Homo-oligomer: A and B are copies of this chain.
Amino acid sequence: MKDQKIQVALLGLGTVGAGVYKVLESQKKEMLPKLGTEVELKKILVRNLQKAAAKVNDPSVLTDDWQEIITDGEIDIVIEVMGGMEPARTYILEALNAGKNVITANKDLIAVDGKSLMDAAKSAGKDFFFEASVAGGIPIIRPLKQSLEANHISEIVGIVNGTTNFILTKMTEENMEFADALKLAQDLGYAEADPTADVEGLDAARKLAILASIAFHSRVSFEDVYAEGISRITSRDIQYADEMGCRIKLLAVARNTEDGIEVNVHPMLINRRHPLASVNDSFNAVFVKGDAVGETMFYGRGAGELPTASAIVGDLFDTVKNIRYQCTGHVNCTCYKTLPIKKAGDKVSRYYIRLQVEDRLGVLAAVASVLGNNNVSIEQCIQKHKAGDLAEIVVITETVLERNFNDSLQILKTMSMIKEVSAVTRVY
């Protein structure tokens, strides 16, 4: 058992890095009884030494030279919170190859390059943990890899992007339109100046790739995930959803079907009684279905300085214990299967569509017949008269083949009595 102090380097001192620093400070007195050893933050890699000095008690821990860290044989653990692909990827590989354990929050990297990093950790016999890369502070990766390991997991459904969940909550509760809710999220610091990665579902797609890989024991990459954002959702659709007993959420859905893995991120109507429907504001949640456990859900803060640091320092404490007991390097890549990824046309879904149509007899029948001819059954339907000669038709379909639905949609778009297909959204 290793009793001497364990030394750590932190790469990056932005929002998350500062959070890690604070949590380590607040846990200082607890470390010896919790871990049986002390943990020292020996070096922090920053770009601007002067700017960073204000954030730490003792600026002598700061360095802008990666070589100072990688060549320091006393440093056992490197925490990477710089984000982005490079130089994060190179630093992580160099650290593992130098015999250091690595903890990261870098979803971009893991979703694309997770396998090569885990392989490097395995060869080195070192820990490589990334709990913070999905759903921030919510424990989800460790529960999937350990607590729920006796399950065949058939489905994961996540609300894993706080920005879009905040926007949809405001649109639902305060009848705001998308652009106004986005502006509010930006003003409050929940959304970035360029909100594309959040709003178009790319951030959620990265997290879903990581979750699906772990849950199904088969590699799923970012490029395998079909991603659609929320920018076309209107408060009108949210109101119709409400009339039909549903909320609209950006859901990241992974399914392990007999014909392969389905991984999709898109806005979906979800029944108000489902536990995910009441996950509001910037909260995240991950819903997991397993053959033994049944339905289970993990809920909490998916981002932010301290919640993300909670996950990172949790990983750190685990690594410290593993170093003490000489057990590092035992949680490796768990993708021992190679399952196919399902193609879009083979997928099935329920759909919500909203149409502007001529306000006259026979239109609803014509719409129903186009759907029926393409094997698309209707589950619920609302028709409302509008000002002028227009009516609005809203349909929720039964579960249908995506291919069949798209065929019927193409036909609807060519019909003169249909003035506009105003919305097409999937239903969970």
Q: Which residues of A contact B (CB under 8 A)?
A: 19, 23, 26-27, 30, 33-34, 131, 137-139, 142-143, 146-152, 217, 275, 278-279, 290-301, 304, 306-307, 309-314, 316-318, 321, 325, 327, 330, 334, 336-337
**21 pairs, A vs B, C-beta closer than 8 Å:** A26-B292, A34-B334, A34-B336, A138-B296, A139-B143, A139-B148, A148-B314, A275-B278, A278-B278, A291-B306, A292-B309, A292-B310, A292-B313, A293-B300, A293-B310, A294-B300, A294-B301, A295-B300, A296-B298, A297-B299, A325-B327
Candidates B142, B148, B314; contact of A310 at CB < 8 Å? B148
Contacts of A292 in B (CB 8 A): 19, 23, 26, 137, 306-307, 309-310, 313
User: Are A291 and B34 CB-contacts (below 8 A) given A143-B139, A146-B314, A296-B299?
Assistant: no
Contacts of A23 in B (CB 8 A): 150, 292
- 7 closest Cβ contacts across the A-B interface? A139-B147, A296-B300, A150-B313, A292-B310, A33-B336, A293-B310, A137-B293
Counting chain B CB atoms within 10 Å of each CB, which of A137, A146, A293, A295 scores highest? Answer: A293
Contacts of A278 in B (CB 8 A): 275, 278
Contacts of A327 in B (CB 8 A): 325, 327, 330
Interchain CB contact under 8 A, B301 and A296? yes
Interchain CB contact under 8 A, A150 and B314? yes
Interchain CB contact under 8 A, A146 and B142? yes
Contacts of A279 in B (CB 8 A): 275
Interchain CB contact under 8 A, B295 and A275? no
Candidates B149, B295, B310, B330; contact of A325 at CB < 8 Å? B330
Contacts of A151 in B (CB 8 A): 310
User: Are A27 and B142 CB-contacts (below 8 A) given A301-B293, A310-B293?
Assistant: no
Q: Closest residue of chain B to A136, judged by CB? A: B293
Candidates B291, B304, B317; contact of A150 at CB < 8 Å? B317
A10 to chain B, nearest CB (A): 14
Contacts of A149 in B (CB 8 A): 34, 313-314, 317-318
Interchain CB contact under 8 A, A310 and B150? yes
Q: Please measure, in the bound complex, the distance between the C-alpha atom of A34 and the C-alpha atom of B330, giving whole angstroms.
A: 12
Interchain CB contact under 8 A, A27 and B150? yes
Q: Please measure, in the bound complex, the distance between the C-alpha atom of A142 and the C-alpha atom of B149, giving whole angstroms.
A: 13
Contacts of A26 in B (CB 8 A): 152, 291-292
A218 to chain B, nearest CB (A): 11
A231 to chain B, nearest CB (A): 27
Contacts of A318 in B (CB 8 A): 146, 149
A6 to chain B, nearest CB (A): 15
A87 to chain B, nearest CB (A): 27
Q: Please measure, in the bound complex, the distance between the C-alpha atom of A311 and the C-alpha atom of B318, giving whole angstroms.
A: 20
Candidates B147, B307, B321, B334; contact of A293 at CB < 8 Å? B307
